[in-house]
Amino acid sequence: MTKILEVNNLQVDFHTYAGTVHAIRNVSFDLAKGETLAIVGESGSGKSVTLRTIMGLLAKNGKVTNGEILFNGKDILKKSERELNAMRGNDISMIFQDPMTSLDPTMPIGKQVAEVLRIHGDVSKKAAMDEAARVLELVGINGAKERLKDYPHQFSGGQRQRIVIAIAIINNPQILIADEPTTALDVTIQAQILELLKELQTKIDTSIIFITHDLGVVAGIADRVAVMYAGKIIEYGTVDEIFYNAQHPYTWGLLESMPTLETNSARLHAIPGTPPSLLNPPKGDAFAARNAYALQIDTEQQPPFFKVSDTHYAATWLLHPDAPKVELPPEIARRRKIWQKMNPTTSKEAE
């Protein structure tokens, strides 16, 4: 599989009056052509900063202190502002967290969509408008041709989100980055938008990085999942590996807090406690203070990544050969059983 994006040992600091915030702490991951990667984690774990750094859109007080971001083998961090401008919206597109504010309320939507095409390429007004109508139709704006002169306020929240997606994909980007594109929308519209992203992937052959703090929305659309906590990726694997064979107690917590068909929301479990301050990140595993399964070493030393399979790695001392065997939380034990049924040969030794 061709790697289209490779993030290696990325470290990002922010300078604030209170001190240096270590927002991204040695993050590495990659993205294959045509793949959908989900990045999940609680608020403040570093999801948006990671993706903004890829786009070259770090806030002024932010600084990359280490690492490289290879896009088709070339380091984005070494690109000039001009090269970055050419890349954004053309090669890599981002749908921002708050879609309602990313449209210009004073400009008809046809013009807004067509403009992106004209900035990046040499196309006539007429051709750009035709293409805008085609892409708006593609993202599910029915009768788009007749609606090109309408303004954003004439569309519903879900439709506006689709327009934002049309703007992001009109130049056929190689990577589409979606930063929690659904938080502002109600649940049924969220589902439709996610369905749309999944559909688009087959239609326009793009790779997608999708970020969310809800593992539940990941299942239907992602191929792989990276779990972030306190500025680090703490576990990554295929969707099945993360859903049924998770190894990090933090991932267990996220899985336990997902509503399932059997558990109604009233019985939802939230992970107790709050993430640590990134001004002074803890010495050991940043999750230790909230981790019912923490070992002595968790408070002293950061766990390395332990290999679970060729595609699955987790940074938890529980995977060390000398770690004690722990009793899994009931929901995780239930999932592990499903995993063993799915993989009768490989999971034998794990019993």
Ligand X SMILES: Nc1ncnc2c1ncn2[C@@H]1O[C@H](COP(=O)(O)OP(=O)(O)OP(=O)(O)O)[C@@H](O)[C@H]1O
**Contact with ligand X (CB under 6 A) among 9, 19, 61, 333:** 61
Encoding tokens for residue 312? 């699955």
| Residue 40 engages ligand X in binding (rule: CB under 6 A) | no
What residues numbered 256-285 form the site for ligand X, per CB under 6 A?
278
**Measured at CB, which residue is nearest to Mg ion?**
48
How far apart CA 337 and CA 173 sit, in angstroms, is 40
How far apart CA 2 and CA 307 sit, in angstroms, is 22
Site string for Mg ion, 20-59 (x = CB under 5 A): ----------------------------x-----------
Task: Tell me the torsion sign for CA atoms 339, 344, 348, 351.
Answer: positive
Q: What is the DSSP letter of 104?
A: -
| Residue 227 engages ligand X in binding (rule: CB under 6 A) | no
**Contact with ligand X (CB under 6 A) among 5, 7, 40, 49:** 49
What is the nearest approach in angstroms of ligand X to the Cβ of residue 290? Answer: 16
What is the nearest approach in angstroms of Mg ion to the Cβ of residue 180? Answer: 6
Partner from Mg ion, ligand X, none contacting 61, C-beta within 5 to 8 A by type: ligand X
CA distances from 144 to 69, 115, 132, 199 (A): 37, 16, 9, 19
Cβ 241 vs Cβ 295: under 8 Å: no
What is the nearest approach in angstroms of ligand X to the Cβ of residue 335? Answer: 24
What residues numbered 84-123 form the site for ligand X, per CB under 6 A?
none
What residues numbered 282-341 form the site for ligand X, per CB under 6 A?
none
Q: Terminus-to-terminus CA distance in the chain, angstroms?
A: 32
What is the nearest approach in angstroms of ligand X to the Cβ of residue 224? Answer: 18
Encoding tokens for residue 311? 């595609």
Encoding tokens for residue 164? 């934002």
Buried b (16+ CB within 10 A) or exposed e, 242-266: bbbbbbbbbbbbbbbbbeeeeeeee
Task: Name the site residues for ligand X (rule: CB under 6 A).
Answer: 14, 16, 21, 23, 41, 43-49, 59, 61-62, 213, 278
Task: Name the site residues for Mg ion (rule: CB under 5 A).
Answer: 48
